[in-house]
Amino acid sequence: MSTKQKRFILPEDEIPKYWYNIQADMKTKPMPPLNPKTKEALKPEDLYPIFAKELCQQELNQTDAWIEIPEAVREMYKYYRSTPLVRAYGLEKALGTPAHIYFKNESVSPIGSHKLNSALAQAYYCKEEGITNVTTETGAGQWGAALSYAAKVFGLEAAVYQVKISYNQKPYRRSIMQTFGATVTASPSMSTRAGKDIITRNPNYQGSLGTAISEAIELAMNTPNCKYTLGSVLSHVTLHQTIIGLEAEKQMEMAGEYPDMVIGCFGGGSNFGGICFPFMRHTILDGKQTRYIAAEPASCPKLTRGKFQYDFGDEAGYTPLLPMFTLGHNFSPANIHAGGLRYHGAGVIVSQLLKDNLMEAVDIQQLESFQAGCLFAQAEGIIPAPESCHAIAATIREANQCKESGEEKVILFNLSGHGLIDMASYDQYLAGNLMNYELKDEDIQKNLNEIKDM
């Protein structure tokens, strides 16, 4: 019987006290977000009407590598952090690979995903500034659930626009948000101008994160003492998620290994950046050879088939222009079950890193992702979120590569969430009702042509 350690946890006083801001160390800094009207570089003040001030400062901070985590946020982190780093012996055995596979288990947070790491921080900064209400959008419902709970913790009211397809496919996430005391509306809705416009053009539209973002921003701009919050894409969100990689760095040390590859699924880039950036710091500063692999859905392939250019972060064009890999803000992704990955663009930091070849991206078809998720569930006993299945699929590809070459590589991936509230999706997969989506080059090009001159 082997007595090898399987699970690595940090003592409470080892939980990091600072987030890591990779912008400070990047040789080529991300290009600035632009004011869409004047095309001038955005200043933090320009974002004050939408976000809490401290978050606007963090968003554009390119000088401070370390940003202190407020004590009240750290105290909340202690309820579920450190999250375990686990050696996936079961998966290694099932694959017959010589690779050493580790995963960081963010599914153990009270709401079941990494999203709470940023929700607590954002709610805290809003409260500090005297804000009373927060709005947001949610895809699969993970961000909405995280914000609803975080808002309750810090005594704020939350209003959430949930992408219509998820609202219908994942009714329990709605119940979860409502249980935490939030108001939930299916998007597109008739309650905003942005929602009305889209419903008028396309009455059967099942919604997208882009539309829901437009609706939530509109509500925030029209409501006094109300701020908008975002669960992905923006640099301050990824900053908060670096707690994942900072812990993992210490835990890998406990395990006596260092990753050759770090892998995360990719929606807007927050969990991917969260686990990768603390390791990438050593690549940038010390030349450490590590591969960073983002796993995106083949039906929404902004990193592998999109274009790097300025584009809006939302469909209605309320956000600043962001320099990013994008499929065009009018791109409407297929109705895949990984709702949290159905977003047209990528964050500005990861976009710059991809452009500079500091990271790679792979696209994964829906069936491969669920197949990987089922194998992982059977080998490790955890049912992964459909989003996380993409990271698992990319990990399995690499582990199989190691099997072929006989290389004993160390792979670390982020298990961004569990899938226990996504069983309707698994049901459909098991019943053989899910399919892959082939996206034609013409369709991608059509959307990109629309944003050519931005």
Ligand X SMILES: *Cc1c(COP(=O)(O)O)cnc(C)c1O
- Please say which residue, 82 or 142, places its beta carbon nearer to ligand X: 142
- Please say which residue, 255 or 394, places its beta carbon nearer to ligand X: 394
* Closest distance to ligand X from the beta carbon of 436 (Å): 20
Distance CA 307, CA 422 (A): 31
- Please say which residue, 341 or 402, places its beta carbon nearer to ligand X: 341
Distance CA 334, CA 436 (A): 10
Distance CA 163, CA 157 (A): 20
Full strand arrangement of the beta sheet holding 157-163: 183-187, 157-163, 133-138, 226-228
Please give the residue ranges that form the binding site for ligand X (CB under 6 A). Answer: 113, 115, 140, 142-143, 232, 265-272, 340-341, 385, 387-388, 416-417
- Please say which residue, 138 or 290, places its beta carbon nearer to ligand X: 138
Distance CA 349, CA 266 (A): 13
* Closest distance to ligand X from the beta carbon of 173 (Å): 10
* Closest distance to ligand X from the beta carbon of 141 (Å): 8
Phi, psi of 368 (to 5 degrees): -60, -35
* Closest distance to ligand X from the beta carbon of 416 (Å): 3
- Please say which residue, 199 or 207, places its beta carbon nearer to ligand X: 207
Distance CA 272, CA 290 (A): 14
- Please say which residue, 48 or 308, places its beta carbon nearer to ligand X: 308
* Closest distance to ligand X from the beta carbon of 132 (Å): 26
Under 8 Å between Cβ of 31 and 323: yes
The CA distances from residue 84 to 8, 88, 409, in Å, are 6, 12, 21
- Please say which residue, 135 or 142, places its beta carbon nearer to ligand X: 142
Distance CA 263, CA 257 (A): 16
* Closest distance to ligand X from the beta carbon of 340 (Å): 3
Three-state DSSP at 154 gives coil
* Closest distance to ligand X from the beta carbon of 109 (Å): 10
Q: Is 203 exposed, middle or buried (0-12, 13-18, 19+ CB in 10 A)?
A: exposed
